[in-house]
Amino acid sequence: MKKPIQQHFSVPFQYQVHFTRAIFDKNNPLFAHTVKSDLVPKVFFIIDQGVAEAHPNLINQIEAYAEAYKHIFQLCGRSLIVPGGEQSKNTNRYFQQILEATHTFGIDRHSYVVALGGGAVLDMAGFASAVAHRGIRHIRIPTTVLSQNDSGVGVKNGINSFGKKNFLGTFAPPFAVINDVAFLTTLDDRDWRAGISEAIKVALIKDASFFQWIEKQASSLASRQMEPMETLIYRCAEMHLEHIASGDPFEMGSSRPLDFGHWAAHKLEQLTAYQIRHGEAVTIGMALDATYSYLKNMLSAEELHRIVQLMKTLGFDLYVPELSNQEVLNGLDEFREHLGGELTIMLLNAIGQGVEVHEMDKHLLQEAISKLKKFQEADLKV
Q: Return the residues of window 287-346 that contact a second copy according to CB under 8 A.
A: 336-342
Q: Please say which residue, 111 or 291, places its beta carbon nearer to a second copy.
A: 111
Q: What is the distance between the alpha carbons of residues 196 and 228, in angstroms, rounded to a whole number?
A: 11
Among 32, 72, 244, 281, binds a second copy (CB under 8 A): 244
Q: Is 49 in the site for a second copy (CB under 8 A)?
A: no
Q: How many angstroms separate the CA atoms of 368 and 210, rounded?
A: 26
Q: Pairing relation of β-strands 159-161 and 164-168?
A: antiparallel
Buried b (16+ CB within 10 A) or exposed e, 207-245: beebbebbbebbeebeeeeeebbbebbebbbebbbebbe
Asked if 358 is part of the footprint of a second copy (rule: CB under 8 A), the reply reads no
Q: How many CA atoms lie within 13 A of 302 on its CB side?
A: 0
- Cα–Cα distance, 145 to 260 (Å, whole number): 18
Kindly state whether residue 145 participates in binding a second copy, applying the rule CB under 8 A.
no
Query: Quick check: 4 binds a second copy (CB under 8 A)?
Result: yes
| 67 φ/ψ angles, rounded to the nearest 5 degrees | -65, -45
Mark residues 78-117: x for contact with a second copy by CB under 8 A, - for none: ---------------------xx--x--x-xxxx------
Site membership for a second copy, residue 160 (CB under 8 A): no
Q: What is the closest distance, in whole angstroms, from the C-beta atom of residue 205 to a second copy in the complex?
A: 20
Using CB under 8 A, pick the residue from 63, 230, 317, 356 that binds a second copy. Answer: 230
Q: Which stretch binds a second copy (CB under 8 A): 68-76, 132-140, 204-212, 316-324?
A: 132-140
- Between 50 and 152, name the residue whose CB sits nearer to a second copy: 152
Q: 110-133 burial string, b = 16+ CB within 10 Å, else e?
A: ebbbbbbbbbbbbbbbbbbbbbbe
Provide the pairing of β-strand 353-357 with 345-350.
antiparallel
Q: Of the two residues 174 and 285, which places its CB atom closer to a second copy in the complex?
A: 174
Question: Taking the complex as a whole, how short is the minimal distance between the CB of residue 97 and a second copy, in angstroms?
Answer: 13
- Residue 15 found at the interface with a second copy (CB under 8 A): yes
Q: Which member of 33, 93, 164, 216 binds a second copy (CB under 8 A)?
A: 164
Site for a second copy in 252-281 (CB under 8 A): 254
- Site membership for a second copy, residue 245 (CB under 8 A): yes
Q: For residue 177, give the H/E element and its range.
A: strand 176-180
- CB of 131 or CB of 264, closer to a second copy: 131
